[in-house]
């Protein structure tokens, strides 16, 4: 396959991914927290407990920014920190955080399902296959990413 074709498809997928994320995020304000805070909850929901430095790396923010995010989430009762040693802690999502995250996920999926319901069966199958292919090329080998696994079932 030509590199030009690969670049064209990559550009199209990139644009579609950004537009899709913006589309489903429209109802995120109903959660009462910021998109960055929801993103941290997502990492904890799917990935389990993390250290603040690991969260900063995953979310691609500086450690002081992550500290601010975690402090706000902790004040809201959405996460808790458990000391690991004198220098670090494990951050976990609370039941309240899990409930808030899941409600947001349901809103996003309902919005997307409403849009997808307008497609034909053939178009829906093609979109499903495209999503599976994207997951296969973007999920690290040996990864146990719950969202990816659920989406491919």
pLDDT digits (tens, 9 = 90+) for 98-108: 999 999 999 99
Right CATH number for 3-118 from 2.60.120.10, 1.10.10.10, 3.30.590.20, 1.10.1740.10? 1.10.10.10
| Tokens 């458990």, residue located | 82
- Which pair of tokens denotes residue 91? 């951050």
Angle (nearest 5°) at CA 136 between 153 and 13 = 105
pLDDT on residue 87: 84
pLDDT tens per residue, range 28-61 = 888 999 989 999 999 999 999 999 999 999 999 9
Give per-residue pLDDT as tens, 105-119.
Answer: 999 999 999 999 999
Q: Could you write out the DSSP letters of every residue in 113-138?
A: HHHHTTS-HHHHHHHHHHHHHHHHHH
Question: What are the beta bridge partners of residue 50?
Answer: 91
């Amino acid at each position: 396959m030509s590199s030009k074709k690969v670049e064209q498809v990559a550009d199209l997928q990139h644009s579609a991914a950004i537009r899709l994320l913006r589309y489903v995020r429209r109802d995120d304000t109903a959660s009462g927290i910021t998109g960055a805070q929801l993103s941290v909850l997502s990492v904890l929901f799917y990935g389990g407990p993390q250290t603040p430095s690991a969260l900063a790396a995953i979310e691609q923010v500086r450690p002081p920014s992550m500290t601010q995010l975690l402090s706000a989430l902790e004040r809201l009762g959405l996460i808790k920190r458990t000391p690991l040693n004198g220098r670090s802690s494990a951050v976990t999502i609370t039941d309240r955080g899990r409930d808030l995250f899941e409600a947001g996920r349901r809103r996003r999926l309902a919005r997307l399902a409403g849009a997808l319901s307008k497609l034909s069966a053939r178009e829906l199958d093609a979109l499903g296959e495209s999503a599976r292919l994207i997951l296969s090329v973007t999920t690290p080998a040996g990864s146990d990413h719950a969202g990816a696994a659920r989406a491919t079932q």
